[in-house]
Amino acid sequence: MARLHLFDLDGTLLHGTSAPLEISRQLGLEAETVELEQEISAGLIGPPEYATRVYALWADLTEAHVAAAFEEAPWLARIREVWAEIRSAGEYCAVVSLSPSFFVERLTGWGAHAAHGSLFPAVPFTEPSMDLAGVLSAPAKVVIADRLCEEFRVTRADCVAYGDSMSDKDLFGAVPVSVAVNADRHLAGLATHSYAGRDLWDAYELVCGAR
């Protein structure tokens, strides 16, 4: 059976940062977003409130800002090479992230079969508020993984998850093989494999033969 490789974005494919932080850096709003990240990490706010507040911060966001954030972000090395290798093996790769869909979906251009993020309106924003029904959570990652399994005709038993934080814990608990990538100690204890470094190929090699 083919496998489905499920990649987190923030802190996983992006080293030591998140898509919202990189976007906010383009607007000179990094400090405000760092504060939001600290609040959500501490459990003081949840994904819907985080999304609401970051949406308000990004009132002046343009497509040029998003493109620059994507291009200048500190990505792990050899992401495209890993996904090309997965494809050549007849397997599947997808990104599932709580970050905004308009950033996450750009990764299909790098070779991901699918990329899912929290549903934000198109940039530039024209609505006074966003629909919070599309904001993802840790449990939602499992729901999306199940949907992808159905789409690619695999099962959870054929999945490998890569992540770095407790937003990945539900997915790690649902699949048999998982890689904690530059992860906090809480998630590392739940993973079948751990990797610290800046090269996705090295993380991928840990599970090439793992079932």
- For tokens 């990505």, what's the residue? 75
Q: Give the 3-state DSSP-derived string for 95-137, with helices as H, strands as E and coil as C.
A: EEEEEEHHHHHHHHHHCCCEEEEECCCCCCCCCCCCCHHHCCC
**DSSP type of residue 89:** T
Question: Residue 211 has what pLDDT?
Answer: 53
For position 143, which CATH number holds?
Answer: 3.40.50.1000
Question: Residue 187 has what pLDDT?
Answer: 86
Residue 30 in domain: no
Residue 126 in domain: yes
- For tokens 């990945």, what's the residue? 168
Question: Residue 210 has what pLDDT?
Answer: 60
Taking residue 197's Cβ as centre, other Cβ atoms within 10 Å add up to 13
For 7-35, the pLDDT digits (tens) are 999 999 999 999 999 999 999 999 999 99
Q: In terms of residue numbers, what domain contains 108?
A: 4-15+75-205
Residue 125 in domain: yes
Residue 149 in domain: yes
Residue 166 in domain: yes
CA pair distance 162, 82, nearest whole angstrom: 13
Strand, helix or coil for residue 61: coil
Residue 191 in domain: yes
Nearest to 32 by CA among 58, 67, 64: 58
- For tokens 């090439």, what's the residue? 208
**Structural domain count of the chain:** 1
Where residue 43 falls (left for φ over 0; alpha for ψ -120 to 50; beta otherwise) is left
Residue 164 in domain: yes
Q: Would you give per-residue pLDDT tens digits along the chain (211 residues)?
A: 799 999 999 999 999 999 999 999 999 999 999 999 999 988 999 999 999 999 999 999 999 999 999 999 999 999 999 999 999 999 999 999 999 999 999 999 999 999 999 999 999 999 988 999 999 999 999 999 999 999 999 999 999 999 998 899 999 999 999 999 999 888 888 999 999 999 999 999 999 866 5
- The mean pLDDT value of the chain amounts to 95
CA pair distance 131, 153, nearest whole angstrom: 31
Residue 44 in domain: no
